[in-house]
């Protein structure tokens, strides 16, 4: 099985506000993306490839409503809170937080947890409280993963090392896996590897041997959980990533990195065609 994930981050922000959204008005943005991708994705065998698109919360209802009958597109959200509602328990005292129950009720079947941007946020909050132990962040993410799976959602769990952590990559990634997946039903998880040190303008992308090495390590450490490349599946690296036996797919974000940068559905579909060779 191959997995193609789409992290739409905050690509909904219009350009006049400093964002990269040139494709649709904010109110129509989620619907527009689903409607302009699902028909073209129907040509792929659902037994061989899975497509999940992770939306900011404001767009989940529109995206879910836009799914046609037998749509190949699955809707996901961008992380959840570590606690949830329960009959006879907390019925909704979650101001500013998104419990798994509402994500599920809105139509989400999946969630992305532990993305480097989420990790940075949690690390920063903990640092303000004087906590610098990275295990604390992994424990919080573990609770999120368990809450999502308990609500019947599949999890894309992101791991990765920073430049200053590269020499100790086995310890860093091992801790993220061991603590993050402690007590978790691993059959409901896919791992996304983000080489944080190689992501961004002016940085050298991770090469094939390095990605192969990490993917083998993750599969050995987790007992064979599927691994996708989370450092950005794009047209430039799609063929290379497709040639790595240990990699089971990729995470797409931006599709255009120069000029009018941003996410464009037609370019997203082109990346998929290149990766899958169809």
User: What was the pLDDT predicted at 58?
Assistant: 97
pLDDT at residue 66 tops 80 = yes
For residue 194, indicate whether it is catalytic. Answer: yes
Rounded mean pLDDT, 32-55: 98
2-276 in CATH: which number?
A: 3.20.20.70
Of 39-48, 61-70, 201-210, the least confident: 201-210
Residue whose tokens read 């082109």: 270
Query: 102 to each of 77, 82, 107, how far by Cα in Å?
Result: 10, 13, 9
User: What was the pLDDT predicted at 203?
Assistant: 83
User: What was the pLDDT predicted at 178?
Assistant: 98
| Band (200; pLDDT cuts 50, 70, 90) | confident
Name the residue among 3, 75, 44 with its Cα closest to residue 273: 44
Q: What is the mean pLDDT of the chain?
A: 97
Structural element, H or E, at residue 3: strand 2-7
Q: Given 50, 118, 144, 194, which residue is catalytic? A: 194
For residue 59, indicate whether it is catalytic. Answer: no
Q: How far apart are CA 38 and CA 115, in angstroms?
A: 25
Q: Each residue of 45-64: pLDDT tens digit?
A: 999 999 999 999 999 999 99
Buried/exposed code over 181-215 (b: 16+ C-beta within 10 A; e: otherwise): beebebebbbbbbbbbbbbeeeeeebeeeebeebb
User: What was the pLDDT predicted at 201?
Assistant: 75
Which pairs with CB-CB distance under 8 Å and at least 24 residues apart come from 89-92? none
Residue whose tokens read 């132990």: 133
% pLDDT > 90, the chain: 96
User: What was the pLDDT predicted at 118?
Assistant: 97
The DSSP output letter for 16 is: G
User: What was the pLDDT predicted at 199?
Assistant: 87
Domain spans of the chain?
A: 2-276
| Residue-by-residue DSSP string for 154-181 | EEEEEE---GGGGGGHHHHHHHHHHHHT
pLDDT at residue 202 tops 80 = no
User: What was the pLDDT predicted at 83?
Assistant: 98
Compute how many other C-beta atoms are within 10 angstroms of the C-beta atom of residue 92. Answer: 9
User: What was the pLDDT predicted at 233?
Assistant: 97
| Band (144; pLDDT cuts 50, 70, 90) | very high
pTM of the model: 0.97
Q: Given 35, 50, 59, 115, which residue is catalytic? A: 115
Name the residue among 84, 176, 188, 101 with its Cα closest to residue 139: 176
């Amino acid at each position: 099985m191959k997995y193609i994930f789409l992290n739409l981050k905050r690509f909904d922000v219009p350009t006049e506000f400093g964002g990269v959204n040139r494709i649709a008005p904010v109110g129509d943005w989620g619907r527009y993306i689903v409607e302009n991708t699902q028909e073209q994705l129907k040509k792929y065998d659902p037994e061989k490839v899975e497509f999940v698109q992770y939306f900011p919360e404001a767009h989940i209802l529109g995206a879910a409503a836009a799914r046609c009958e037998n749509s190949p597109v699955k809707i996901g959200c961008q992380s959840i809170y570590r606690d949830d509602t329960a009959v006879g328990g907390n019925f909704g005292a979650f101001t500013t937080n998104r419990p798994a129950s509402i994500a599920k009720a809105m139509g989400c079947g999946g969630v992305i947890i532990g993305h480097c941007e989420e990790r940075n946020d949690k690390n920063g909050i903990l640092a303000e409280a004087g906590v610098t132990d990275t295990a604390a962040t992994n424990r919080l993410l573990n609770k999120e993963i368990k809450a999502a799976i308990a609500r019947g959602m599949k999890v894309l769990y992101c791991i990765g090392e920073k430049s200053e952590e590269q020499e100790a990559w086995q310890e860093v990634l091992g801790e993220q896996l061991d603590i993050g997946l402690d007590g978790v039903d691993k059959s409901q998880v896919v791992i996304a590897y983000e080489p944080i040190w190689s992501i961004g303008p002016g940085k050298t992308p991770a090469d094939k041997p390095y990605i192969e090495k990490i993917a083998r390590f993750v599969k050995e450490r987790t007992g064979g959980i599927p691994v996708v490349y989370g450092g950005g599946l794009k047209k430039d690296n799609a063929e290379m990533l497709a040639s790595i036996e240990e990699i089971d797919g990729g995470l797409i974000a931006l599709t255009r990195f120069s000029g009018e940068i941003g996410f464009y559905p037609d370019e997203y579909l082109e990346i998929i065609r290149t990766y899958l060779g169809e």
